[in-house]
Amino acid sequence: MRNLTLLTDLYQLTMGYGFYKHDKHEEEVVFDLFFRRNDLITYSIAAGLQQAVEYLLNWHFDEEDIAYLRSLNLFSEDFLEYLKNMRFTGDVYAVKEGEPVFPGEPILTIKAPLIQAQFAETALLNIINHQTLIATKSSKICRATAGKGMVMEFGLRRAQGPDAGINGARAAIIGGCSSTSNVLAAQMFDIPVAGTMAHSWVMDYPTEYEAFRAYADSYPDNCLLLVDTYDTIRSGVPNAIKVFKELKEAGYKPKGIRLDSGDLAYLSKKARKMMDEAGFPEAMICVSGDLDERSINSLIQQGAKIDSWGVGTKLITSEDLPALGGVYKLSAVIEKDGKMTPKIKLSDNTAKITNPAFKNLYRLYDKSNGMAIADLITLRDERVDESKPLTLFHPVETWKEHEVENFRAEELLHTIVKNGELVYKFPSLKEIQAFSKAELSKFWEEYLRLDVPQLYKVDLSRRLHTLKIEMIGGIRKKNTKKENQNG
């Protein structure tokens, strides 16, 4: 495993040195990782937790790291000596990978000494922002197929570097993809690997027919032919059918064809008719070529005859939204006597005002149908009473209230690491994917649709909301008093 300890921003280290010099480095604090709402992403699929935790539990400053930091002439020798022995000793609370999550919710919380919690920020955001972004894009793409065919992740060649290609493939599986073309990712994460042929295979042979015959000879049990190199309808499909007949006579079952360009709705319907009439109704039609959730949805609406989808560039780069916008904010300081002091960040932009204190996250389900009603962010020591009605209210427009009853409350933040020790068993990718699919099924379509989705309710408990308003008022009152004194 690579040593990624220095995968951080310089200011994490300079702040760490400042904390150390002022004897604040061992002060216990709480940080929350969450993402903010935007027009393109109203829900996300949490991903990257395993890699994030592996980073935390494996960080160490080796001799080369210390030598490099010394060369910057920013740190004292005693601080560098402190870093040599620094390990993560805190707690990690997080939602499970594959869990649908919503803006403003703490999807990962760190409770640790200040220097450790602050130092962790950059890498945690890098890992979780990326994988959550790609898992979410994958989820949207897979949902767009409406169950009509598997989605294969084909994005490696367009990914933003090897790490993005590898971990992006992992995240795509969490979001619902059936396989990846990325052989290294398949090996690392035990992911099904899939692929066909390139146009260069066809172009290298004197004729398209000869190219198809050679491929069929190489893979008689797995013969899927790329038919759009020259002329899909006049040449590609007829030559594929010709080779399929030869395979059938030899006792093999042809797999199908792939379309990579052109009017995929028209071509797929025409090819389907041609193959059916030739006696190959079970031969599949796979398509690829700059697909995303919207183009797939359009093809489905047009009645395209497609059995499998190869999605690359727009999935692995999340082309329409290249960054999730996850943030990591201090929410509490814990004094030596155990007293917790909540912290809040204010802003003229209401969406950027943080929720203070050490918190918990609950999802409320309707007992009558099992569907999600709303999420509730509470103080850590609060418990939701399922035995009586609960009044939910909008965290900003507080006059908007909704009373729920006959519900169950499920705690979403799980203890992953305790005192620097892993206490959670990570599931397999297949298990995470199945979990994510099951959890998504508990949300009404209105919350998940592509266009103008209904906003899912994420509310604050009465106690947390009261604390937040009191803190905002107190800070503004103090600042107003200072302004008056200075005036």
What's the pLDDT tens digit per position in 20-47? 999 999 999 999 999 988 778 889 999 9
Helix (H, G, I), strand (E, B) or coil at 207: coil
What's the rounded Cα separation, in Å, for the pair 424 and 418? 9
What's the rounded Cα separation, in Å, for the pair 276 and 279? 5
Q: Where are the domains of the chain?
A: 10-119+325-476, 136-316
Summarised one tens digit per residue, pLDDT across range 293-331 is 999 999 999 999 999 999 999 999 999 999 998 999 999
> In this model, does residue 382 exceed pLDDT 90?
yes
What's the rounded Cα separation, in Å, for the pair 370 and 5? 43
> In this model, does residue 103 exceed pLDDT 80?
yes
Position 481 scores a pLDDT of: 64
Position 39 scores a pLDDT of: 77
- 3-state percent breakdown (helix, strand, coil) of the chain, nearest 5: 40, 20, 40
Alpha carbon of residue 118 to chain centroid: 22
Mean local confidence (pLDDT), 405-428 = 97
CB atoms within 10 A of CB 207: 12
Mean local confidence (pLDDT), 140-154 = 95
> In this model, does residue 8 exceed pLDDT 80?
yes
What's the rounded Cα separation, in Å, for the pair 330 and 333? 8
Position 127 scores a pLDDT of: 98
> In this model, does residue 351 exceed pLDDT 90?
no
Summarised one tens digit per residue, pLDDT across range 156-178 is 999 999 999 999 999 999 999 99
Position 41 scores a pLDDT of: 80
What's the rounded Cα separation, in Å, for the pair 230 and 265? 18
Position 37 scores a pLDDT of: 83
Position 487 scores a pLDDT of: 55
Q: Point out the least confidently predicted range of 88-92, 181-185, 271-275, 479-483.
A: 479-483
Q: Minimal CA–CA distance to 336: which of 116, 16, 114?
A: 114
> In this model, does residue 486 exceed pLDDT 80?
no
> In this model, does residue 136 exceed pLDDT 90?
yes
> In this model, does residue 418 exceed pLDDT 80?
yes
**Which H or E run includes 138?**
helix 121-144
CATH superfamily of 10-119+325-476: nicotinate phosphoribosyltransferase (3.20.140.10)
Position 2 scores a pLDDT of: 82
Q: Which tokens sit at 198?
A: 């390139």
Mean local confidence (pLDDT), 451-473 = 94
Q: Return the DSSP state at 245.
A: H
> In this model, does residue 235 exceed pLDDT 60?
yes
Which pLDDT band holds residue 70 (cuts at 50, 70, 90)?
Answer: very high
Contact (CB, 8 A) for 41 and 47: no
More confident residue, 3 or 306: 306
Which phi and psi (to 5°) does residue 124 adopt? -60, -45
Position 348 scores a pLDDT of: 86
Summarised one tens digit per residue, pLDDT across range 253-285 is 999 999 999 999 999 999 999 999 999 999 999
Helix (H, G, I), strand (E, B) or coil at 32: strand
Q: What is the mean pLDDT of the chain?
A: 95
Position 413 scores a pLDDT of: 98
Q: Point out the least confidently predicted range of 28-32, 148-152, 257-261, 448-452.
A: 448-452
Q: Point out the least confidently predicted range of 259-263, 326-330, 357-361, 392-396.
A: 392-396
- Fold match between domain 10-119+325-476 and domain 136-316: no
Q: Model-level pTM?
A: 0.95
> In this model, does residue 1 exceed pLDDT 80?
no
> In this model, does residue 484 exceed pLDDT 90?
no
CATH classification (class only), 136-316: alpha beta
Which phi and psi (to 5°) does residue 334 adopt? -105, 120
